[in-house]
Amino acid sequence: MLDNTSRSTGDAFNGAVNTAHTDVKTLVKDAQTLLTAAAALTGEKAEELRGRGMQMLDAAMNKASQAQGQAMVRGKELAQTADVYVKDNPWRTIAAAASVGLLVGVILGRK
């Protein structure tokens, strides 16, 4: 249904999202560690650690925001591709939807 270019683009996008997700988790854990350490300290060192922790949290929020923006753009592209496919192949789409509905009905009917 989708061409190979769309699939490879989707795979690359998924890899980028997974990388961003891992980076955000790492940044948040590091920031939590710094903020926990800063809570036990007082004075200038504590302020420095809190500042670094806040910078890490800000970086994590920025990465999450970028990933969300990329996901929105990719979602819109996929919706547009699906819309074009449905308009170009209405009978195939109806047959595919009916087949999926029949399959789901059979599976649910067995239980």
Q: How far apart are the C-alpha atoms of 92 and 84, rounded to whole Å?
A: 13
Distance of CA 9 to the CA centre of its chain: 14
The set of residues, in sequence order, having a beta carbon less than 8 Å from that of 59 and lying 6+ positions away, is 27
**pLDDT at 2 > cutoff 50:** no
Mean pLDDT of 59-72: 85
pTM of the prediction?
0.51
pLDDT tens by residue, 7-65: 555 666 667 667 777 777 787 777 777 777 766 777 787 777 777 777 877 888 888 88
Q: How far apart are the C-alpha atoms of 72 and 48, rounded to whole Å?
A: 36
**pLDDT at 5 > cutoff 70:** no
